[in-house]
Structure 1
């Protein structure tokens, strides 16, 4: 083997004097290299001893203790004793259904609209109260002025309407002057 190696992937491990020392030569000697972990362990076991600290390698390792977690989960059985079964249903009866009532009254407490709807049908739905002309004549007046925004408020009466997802559910029986107060509960 020469000093000038033209193959870049083959390189000598150590060049001492005239002889090239390779990894195979080191395996046969009594000074075999040790791993990094073994070196750190031996250094830490000997070095703290010179400082009279009494610590060993195992004392310097970081340890963690897991704190037991109390799981608040549902038990496999009921938490109470079942005494009697009052009834069983194939479907929930109407009196046990949750409902929402929309009730609108004017200032004289005369009812404009009254509707009761099941809650599950209204869940995650768009619910709006809009206003429509009370009569055909009111609609014609609004059209003649070019829309509700341009119409004088004293000329027309409007009635509230309950709309769910763009579908009219209930329309009030009577109308109110535009801008008049009413109660919605």
Structure 2
């Protein structure tokens, strides 16, 4: 793909994320083109339908989550990733809902990165050694799905994460 075509594609995706997050399902590809400063034909060359555009946005969001999870390390990387996932889901809920993404299937792509974060947290003693990856992925999927339903302001995000984190820590030693 030519450099200008790559720039246009990235600009369209960046703009579409903002437009759909702000305006919801009523937003149009024409509005995306207008805000990006591009002709509608340019948008349609890259994304022939609104669904194609939404699918591309979701693939990019998931790739970002995988990259973020892979870029974290240390004893609290898992906790940081939980916070990142909740914030992303709450912010991008309109796009995710419009794209009709199966959150459980999408989360499968994160297994390796989250598994490594879990091992690091357990090795550092900040997560109970009895906790397994399937439980962590179920929690991530559930909290991500919850954030998609809206009303997840920063306070609710923090309270929910506090409950999850309290359940992950090792029990007190007797």
TM-score category, normalised to shorter length: under 0.3
| TM-score of the aligned structures, taking structure 2 as reference length | 0.19
Q: Higher relative CO (CA 8 A, sep ≥ 6), structure 1 or 2?
A: 2
If each structure's helix is expressed as a fraction of its own residues, which one has the higher value? 2
| TM-score of the aligned structures, taking structure 1 as reference length | 0.18
If each structure's strand is expressed as a fraction of its own residues, which one has the higher value? 1
